[in-house]
Chains A and B, each alone.
Chain A
Amino acid sequence: MKILYHFGRYLNLLLKVFKQPEKRAVYRRQFMIEIDNLGYASAGIVAIISVFMGAVLTIQMAFNIDSPLVPLYTIGFATRQSIVLEFAPTIISLILCGKVGSRIASEIGTMRVTEQIDALEVMGINSASFLILPKIMAAMFVFPFLIMMSMVLGVAGGWFAGTTTGLISSYGYVYGIQSFFHMYDIWYALTKTVVFAFIITSVSAYHGYYTKGGALEVGNASTSGVVYSSIAIIFANLILTQLLLA
């Protein structure tokens, strides 16, 4: 029953978020700020994780493919497929969920408990829309770029690990990552990313927005924001994969 209550309140909040944004100029500025806060500030961690993830993937592929019947360039192909289809969009989104989700929930939660949200409301500003809409929009806009960067860096990390350890030749790897390439896979990954971006920002904003109490509760809101958006991402991943690939 609790879950229905939260889901209903979440949908209600979303209705409020998408209702009548007031001053477009102010929203545009907030949007730019959020791109910085949510996107640019996450680029570093995404880059590091992607390179190492790609490297490990390639090494594991190489160890798993030790049959002489399977050509070595399969390593490059399999690395690319795993990164593009799953690791970049889903794993990186989960990482972003931790980084961005906790930030959003605690920022909005603090604004709630220090009455900053009340201050907005008293002025006649739709606080939900003012605080949350720019974040949702910014994340949906900027996350695909982060994920594309992750793909490139992941594949590059794989190349580096594969060639320096001598598991595969540079030519073989590059041949592998170019073979059986379907543009649709990229669209599939980016579609997932956009949905995940929406989930991360809206679910964690929801938890922040309805925080009650003080600093302790802000911490709790931040944790639940991350936990619930992670769970939602996992479910959405399953559903989207079924819808888009099956």
Chain B
Amino acid sequence: MIEGINITKRFGDRIVLENVTVRFDKGKTNLIIGQSGMGKTVLLKCLVGLFDFEQGEVFYDNRLFSKMSFTEKKSIRKEIGMLFQGGALFDSMTAEQNVMFPLTMFTTMLPDEKRDRANFCLSRVNLENVNDMLPSELSGGMKKRVAIARAIALNPQYLFCDEPNSGLDPQTANLIDELIKEITLEYDITTVVVTHDMNSVLEIGQKVYFIYKGKLWWEGDRDNILHTVNPELKAFVFNSELTRRLKPV
């Protein structure tokens, strides 16, 4: 379980997050949704400790993460897998080396074991024959998938995904959603997914937080999101023909 309590984050004198409180349960796929530029990525980065924030606390299974020293944080970070919005693959390494990197740094696995594990993770995101390709030789969606493979390589306890299926075709996007759901259940981990894809919301939104202008505007799940009366959320949810057809009357 991950909790962010009363998080307020400023850049200069611009408030990007204001008193946001979120709670992500274990074994569930938790979603953060919202329009572009509303602070979803910033919230994620506050939760994993990449951004310092003015006010608030972050707990990982009741361990007060936000006040820990770098060395203390390290033990928790080894349990975190994170997919960045842009992938953030190491561009001097091949796809396979990227996935093997966390294994090299944090396990005593033999090279063959690491390669097997990397291949297993790559196959889970439906990637084959890309092992020796550099990130610059991969398509946008392939990069994203390699990055997901890297994020799950160490069997994380906490999985953060920033827009895992943006830039993917609907089928592959679905496959990634399925994968995230499977991993979450299979290993009973805490998963947080940032998305603005309504498909994913309905697919894996066991818990949904809607961020609007840096504030927590609504929380619920995939079942009650279609019945919302919140005008901003309604505008977000029913913006396309497809979702308008789902609108309960």
Contacts and interface: CB of A to CB of B under 8 A. Distances in A.
Interface of A: 20, 22-23, 26, 110-111, 114-116, 118-119, 121-126
Contacts of A123: 77-78, 80, 102, 105-106
A55 B106 CA distance: 53
Nearest to A119: B88
B91 A116 contact: yes
A166 to B, nearest CB: 51
A22 to B, nearest CB: 7
Contacts of A118: 45, 50, 84, 88
Given A118-B84, A119-B82, A124 B74 contact: yes
A67 B18 CA distance: 82
Nearest to B104: A26
Given A122-B50, A123-B78, A124-B74, A115 B86 contact: yes
A125 B105 contact: yes
Given A23-B104, A124-B75, A125-B105, 15 more contacts: A20-B71, A114-B88, A114-B91, A116-B88, A116-B91, A118-B45, A118-B50, A118-B84, A118-B88, A119-B82, A122-B77, A122-B80, A123-B80, A123-B106, A124-B74
B48 interface: yes
Given A122-B48, A122-B77, A124-B78, A114 B86 contact: yes
A121 B50 contact: yes
B105 A23 contact: yes
B217 interface: no
B115 interface: no
Contacts of B105: 22-23, 26, 123, 125
Given A22-B105, A23-B104, A124 B77 contact: yes
B89 interface: yes
Interface residues of B, number: 25
B23 interface: no
Contacts of A115: 84-86, 88
Contacts of B75: 124
Contacts of A111: 90
Contact of A119 (B71, B76, B84, B104): B84
Contacts of B86: 114-115
B73 interface: yes
A147 to B, nearest CB: 27
Interface in B41-67: 45, 48-50
A119 B48 CA distance: 11
A115 B82 CA distance: 12
Contacts of B85: 115
Contacts of A126: 70
A36 B79 CA distance: 34
B80 A116 contact: no
A116 B50 contact: no
Nearest to A118: B50
A68 B179 CA distance: 88
Contacts of B48: 122
Contacts of B74: 124
> What are the nearest 7 A-B pairs in CB distance?
A124-B77, A115-B88, A119-B88, A124-B74, A122-B82, A115-B84, A124-B78
A23 B89 CA distance: 20
Contacts of A119: 82, 84, 88, 90
A125 B50 CA distance: 12
A114 B98 CA distance: 15
A110 B135 CA distance: 14
A123 B104 CA distance: 12
A98 to B, nearest CB: 22
B191 to A, nearest CB: 15
A19 to B, nearest CB: 9
A20 B187 CA distance: 32
B198 to A, nearest CB: 26
B238 to A, nearest CB: 33
A111 B135 CA distance: 13
A22 B101 CA distance: 13
B17 to A, nearest CB: 18
